[in-house]
Amino acid sequence: MTETTARLPGDPSASASVARMIRVDHAGEYGAVRIYQGQLAALRGRGKSDLVRHMLAQEQHHLRTFDGLIADRAVRPTALLPVWHLAGFALGALTAALGERAAMACTVAVEETIDAHYQKQLAELDQTEPDLRATISQFRDEEIEHRDTGLAHGAEQAPGYRLLRAVIKTGCRAAIALSERV
């Protein structure tokens, strides 16, 4: 029996772990909004702006949903939001300044990381949180769409794709680990 299934409903450790999930997911969606805003600013209506605008609208919906969960469940948001505000925008703007394909490579790296993160949460969430589970599952599907959009629009042809992807994924994983705790 895993630790998750051994937990009883209402167990304080369960609500603490759910609070940690909501905190990190809120931080991630906040960062995603900032990345796509940074990309749009750098693209200035050129290139793949329409695609980026569509992904931004979905991230804004994800963020609003987690804003609601933060409020409803009195979860403390991460203290690092001001950092993600700047770092997310900078990541989006810098990659888009390198070119459309680098912007798409950034999208692939970020969305792949979020997909894995949501997948892990879905495995951890038990039957006591059906609504949260459904929300995360739906958002995960949209993050996978974003990754596929990046792949369909030249991400892999970006100069230095492998390195760029690896560096961004490492950064995102570090941001996730920090946002769960801080």
Residues in contact with Fe ion, shown as a per-residue x/- string from 66 to 105 under the rule CB under 5 A: ----------------------------------------
Residues 11-70 that bind Fe ion (CB under 5 A): 29, 32, 59, 62
Q: How far apart are CA 71 and CA 10, in angstroms?
A: 19
Q: Closest CB to Fe ion among 22 and 32?
A: 32
# binding residues, Fe ion (CB under 5 A): 7
Is residue 117 within 8 A of residue 176, CB to CB? The reply is yes
Burial class (CB in 10 A: 0-12, 13-18, 19+), 19: middle
Q: Closest CB to Fe ion among 14 and 116?
A: 116
Residues 119-178 that bind Fe ion (CB under 5 A): 143, 146
Q: Closest CB to Fe ion among 111 and 129?
A: 111
Half-sphere exposure (Cβ direction) of 121: Cα atoms closer than 13 Å = 28
Q: How far apart are CA 7 and CA 153, in angstroms?
A: 44
- Would you tell me which residues interact with Fe ion (CB under 5 A)? 29, 32, 59, 62, 111, 143, 146
